[in-house]
């Protein structure tokens, strides 16, 4: 799903493969959280995993796409 090198899309997801799309990141995180509870039944471990996954989501689904869009927008047009 890679665009041509001269494409100027500010959407980071246009440059990522199918397995690195928002839906797959959310699905993987949800699966990991649910699995930790279903396998371990230990609240504090599941909460710890949930915090780590939430930080991962915030970075990769919110912060990183915004930074990429700013970067692309700040590049001089050729």
The pLDDT tens digits of the residues spanning 19-32 come to 999 999 999 999 99
- For 45, the domain range is 16-74
- Answer yes or no: is 24 within a domain: yes
Q: Where residue 3 falls among pLDDT bands split at 50, 70, 90?
A: very low
pLDDT the model gives residue 19: 93
What mean pLDDT comes out for the span 51-59?
Answer: 98
Query: Considering the domain boundaries, does residue 3 fall inside one?
Result: no
- Does 42 fall in a domain? yes
pLDDT of residue 77: 74
d(CA 75, CA 33) in angstroms, rounded, equals 39
Domain count, the chain: 1
Q: What confidence category does residue 49 fall into, taking pLDDT thresholds of 50, 70 and 90?
A: very high
Please check whether residue 11 lies inside any domain of the structure: no
| Contact of 1 with 18, CB cutoff 8 Å | yes
In a domain, 36, yes or no: yes
The predicted model scores a pTM of 0.82
Number of Cβ within a 10 Å radius of residue 14: 11
């Amino acid at each position: 799903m890679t665009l041509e090198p001269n494409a100027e899309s500010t959407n980071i997801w246009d440059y990522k493969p199918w397995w690195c799309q928002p839906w797959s990141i959310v699905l993987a995180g949800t699966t990991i959280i649910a699995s930790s509870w279903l396998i371990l039944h230990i609240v504090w471990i599941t909460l710890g995993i949930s915090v780590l996954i939430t930080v991962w989501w915030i970075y990769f689904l919110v912060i990183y796409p915004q930074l990429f869009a700013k970067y692309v927008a700040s590049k001089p047009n050729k």
